[in-house]
Structure 1
Amino acid sequence: MLIVPGTAYASPPAPEIPFSAMADPSPSADGAFADLSPAVTARLDAAIRKVMREASVPGVTVGLWAPGKGSYVRSFGVADKATGAPMEPDLNMRIGSETKTFTVTALLELVDQDKVGLDDPIGKYIDDVPNGDRITLRELAGMRSGLFNYSMDEGFFKAFTSDPDRPFTPQELLDYSFSHPVQFAPGAEFEYSNTNLILLGLVVEKAGEMPLNEFIERNVLEPAGLTNTVFPTGAEFPSPHAHGYTNQTASGDIEDATDWNPSWGWAAGAMISDLQDLRSWARTLATGTLLTPETQAERLDIAPTTIPGAGYGLGIFNVQGWIGHNGSLPGYESLTVYLPEARATMVVLLNTDIVHDQAEPSTLFGEAITRIVSPGHVYNLPVTATRSSSESPSS
């Protein structure tokens, strides 16, 4: 998302989740996921409407699919508050930090092609990175580099909110980060930082010998069959799309952020997708169909974090057994996750990023939904895991 997960905080680390527990089993485990019956559907409708009402969410689309259990696809509320146009399941949405899953997949494809190594130092590819001779690509993808998160920089926040239509270059974003001292030694801690993904995007461009958006289109989106997913190079936004609403503004007032330029998120958060593409991507990401089994195992080597109940691999979360990523940037939030135990997929797309009662609205929906359909695997990601300051655009 452009989740802006950021600072480490003093919670006990989550227990490490072994890769074997995340494998994609052939039978659906009994009781792991509810039958999506009319009664369960009614409970889901009520729970989603309750979250919408309490968190003042204009519109949301939810998709659930599980073999042998049925499916649930619903849209609620409005896609445009000015016209009252309804939210629809086929709308394009900005997906923020879910972009990270595509950038890291591109990197891992280059690993499979022996063009980069996960344990290469970033300094092999990019000059003038603090600790560049020690920080590895693996540590960048796993959020353990120690590099300051540029989207937490006060100067960046002022520049962004004063002119949200302006483009940012990757180097400008890195300059915001590198003006701060490193936060900790490489590999010593987990701290979510968008800076890591900007660097990995530059590595993909250098080793892949083409712009990042083109590499991802040719080598990730096309092989995965994702025809409605795009990596914009500016503020372009394919129609039809929902309008997005945010209070990540200079005044703190709620504004329509639909056409704001997402270049500030670039490899960490600029992409656009829709419900059906994300349904497909959830399984592709979790099961590794674009990678060798060995490289997919590296991605799913989930390490403990300071986030209760969650671990992080290479550009991918495991939250109570749900594997995938969330996304948040001004006006939009998303959640795309896969539960291997039941081969179940959940996608949530909404048109606001305004935090409610110290919780991301995407997490509120994810938690309410999973309490009904997978009570043994309740998705809950604390707001401090994804946004360490309400004054920072997230990704």
Structure 2
Amino acid sequence: MKFVVAGLLILQCLIASAQQSVLQRKLDSLRQAGNFPGLSVAIIIDNKPVLPLVSGFNDIEENLVLKTTDRFMQGSVGKTYASAIAIDLIKRKKISLDDKVSMYLGSYPWFDKIPNAADITIQMLMNHTSGVMRYEFNPNFLKDLTAQPDKEWKPAELLNYILEQKASFEAGKGWEYSDTNYILLGMIIEAVTGKTFYRLVKQQLLDKWELSNTFPSDRRRLPGLSQGYAGPENEFGGKEKVVGEDGLFIINPQFEWTGGGIYSTTSDLATWGHYLYGGQVIDTTLLLALPVAAKLGRDTKYAQGVIIRPTSLGTAYGHSGFFPGYMTELLHFPNSRMTIAVQTNSSNFKNLKLGLMRVLLIMATEALNQSKQ
């Protein structure tokens, strides 16, 4: 009997190895077709261990091959951590989606200068219906950011770039993606809890779910970060490579904070998405409540820090991310109980021939096909 069991285990290992080889070849072909310097993918189906795959280079010029332990900036996918903490506060009745932002931030001297200040609710921040425009692409902010690469930005300093501006639309009457919403949300979180945002992330999320390769991107030197290629015409520093020879990022990524503010391995990212959208971290009923139409693709909606997408594999939950030199896509497919994260160390759109979402969907389809064999 023990020989039969051993034989079955060997057979299972051989099948798994063959399936992984198929996925690796598919990833290699997509990297070459898309002209990506590097691609990193992590896949979880059901409760099986995460499957990490990489293709290409960490640093082309240094001939450093990409490894599964290399880390990437998550960009706006970092909003999912802020959303999770906020949803937990709502569940514990510390805040409410319908609360006016003025309840928590109204005493600041700058608050009344925020567009739509009197009418914005917490939910409007979380689903981007506040009408408060983006600070992060304001030309004056970009000028100051690049001129002061060592500056540590305070949230209120970021808000200075949108004060006394005309709102993009009446509060709750439109949709516009804006990191400013999540800066305000982060300020509320800290005001209510009396703790720093990153302390909450570590205590409530990273430590609890054993995400040991996920860290705040709160300084210029980020250990383990892969080299990123942003293109020489990028607005954030205007350099092709975002990590200098001295190991420092060309700007201080600390500014992103609750608008993103996280970097990790792709395996950790997929694990986070699997726990989050699988309902283990927070109540997904609140997370997905009252989604609104979003300008992120046909029939795509946005709820509380989550993008809801129709796909060829069914409805999926997740988020997209951009940070100079990096792009990220994270999706969870509830019907197939699969989560997949895809990251690349390039944001040089002129050079890329495939969209990262297309890469994700192709890899997800192949992974599901292989899992059924």
Shorter-chain TM band: 0.7 to 0.9
176, 186, 191: which is aligned to 1:206?
191
Distance between the aligned counterparts of 1:359 and 1:188, measured in 2?
36
32, 39, 48: which is aligned to 2:27?
48
Higher relative CO (CA 8 A, sep ≥ 6), structure 1 or 2?
1
What SS class does the counterpart of residue 59 from structure 2 fall into? coil
What SS class does the counterpart of residue 134 from structure 1 fall into? coil
Contact 1:48 1:368 in 2 (8 A): no
What SS class does the counterpart of residue 156 from structure 1 fall into? helix
What SS class does the counterpart of residue 341 from structure 2 fall into? strand
Distance between the aligned counterparts of 1:270 and 1:360, measured in 2?
26
Which residue number corresponds to residue 294 of structure 2?
Answer: 305
Structure 1 counterpart of 2:332, which letter? Y
Answering whether residue 66 of structure 2 is matched by residue 78 of structure 1, we say: no
Distance between the aligned counterparts of 1:181 and 1:310, measured in 2?
27
What SS class does the counterpart of residue 298 from structure 1 fall into? helix
Which residue number corresponds to residue 9 of structure 1?
Answer: none
44, 53, 68: which is aligned to 1:89?
68
Moved more, 50-59 or 81-90: 50-59
How many matched pairs? 336
Which residue number corresponds to residue 327 of structure 1?
Answer: 321
Distance between the aligned counterparts of 1:164 and 1:308, measured in 2?
38
Distance between the aligned counterparts of 1:196 and 1:353, measured in 2?
23
What SS class does the counterpart of residue 128 from structure 2 fall into? coil
1:175 Cα offset (Å): 1.1
Instruction: Write out per-residue CA displacement over residues 71-95 of structure 1, whole angstroms, 9 at most, x where no aligned residue.
Output: 7532111112232111011112211
1:361 Cα offset (Å): 4.3
Which residue number corresponds to residue 240 of structure 2?
Answer: 254
What SS class does the counterpart of residue 150 from structure 1 fall into? coil
Give the alignment's TM-score, normalised by structure 2: 0.81
Q: Which runs of 5+ in 1 are unaligned?
A: 1-34, 376-395
What SS class does the counterpart of residue 177 from structure 1 fall into? coil
Contact 2:229 2:326 in 1 (8 A): yes
Moved more, 193-202 or 162-171: 162-171
1:284/1:47 CA distance change after superposition, 3 Å? same
Distance between the aligned counterparts of 2:355 and 2:58, measured in 1?
16
Contact 1:101 1:315 in 2 (8 A): yes
Contact 2:57 2:66 in 1 (8 A): yes
Alpha-carbon RMSD across the aligned residues, in angstroms, is 2.7
Distance between the aligned counterparts of 1:287 and 1:68, measured in 2?
10
130, 134, 154: which is aligned to 2:119?
134
1:122/1:229 CA distance change after superposition, 3 Å? same
What SS class does the counterpart of residue 61 from structure 1 fall into? strand
Give the alignment's TM-score, normalised by structure 1: 0.77
Which residue number corresponds to residue 369 of structure 1?
Answer: 363
What percentage of aligned pairs have identical amino acids?
24
What SS class does the counterpart of residue 255 from structure 1 fall into? coil
Moved more, 99-108 or 241-250: 241-250
Distance between the aligned counterparts of 2:207 and 2:48, measured in 1?
29
Distance between the aligned counterparts of 2:279 and 2:35, measured in 1?
37
